Amino acid sequence: MAAGGHDAHGAAHAAGMHMEAARYAEGTVRKIDTAAGKVTLKHGPLAQLGMPPMTMTFTADAALLNKLKVGDKVRFVAEEVNGALTVTELEVLP
């Protein structure tokens, strides 16, 4: 019976990892406006926001934008911050 408890823990851990992975989306940088703090991304589904794949502009911190160039493939997290869709995490993919 103790094994059942461990199995449940493992399933919960796996579900938590899946939920964490669902926060991330992949996309391609289409436009960067560092002065305005905006980036346009053509992205896959944003599951946590219930959005289908599309091209849209996000607010982003200049520190994130400075490492980007048009055409970069990226993995990112977008969240609603003060009413604006904002890239809160971003990494350039190889």
> Residue ranges of the domains in the chain?
25-92
pLDDT of residue 21: 62
In CATH, the number for domain 25-92 is 2.40.50.320
The residue type found at 8 is A
Tens place of pLDDT for every residue, the chain, 94 residues? Answer: 445 555 544 444 444 444 456 689 999 999 999 999 999 999 999 998 999 999 999 999 999 999 999 999 999 999 999 999 999 999 999 9
Q: How far apart are CA 58 and CA 90, in angstroms?
A: 12
Please, which residues have CB within 8 angstroms of residue 46's CB and are 6 or more apart in sequence?
25, 78
The identity of residue 65, as a single letter, is L
The whole-number pLDDT of residue 20 equals: 59
What token pair was written down for 26?
């992949």
Beta bridge partners of 90: 76
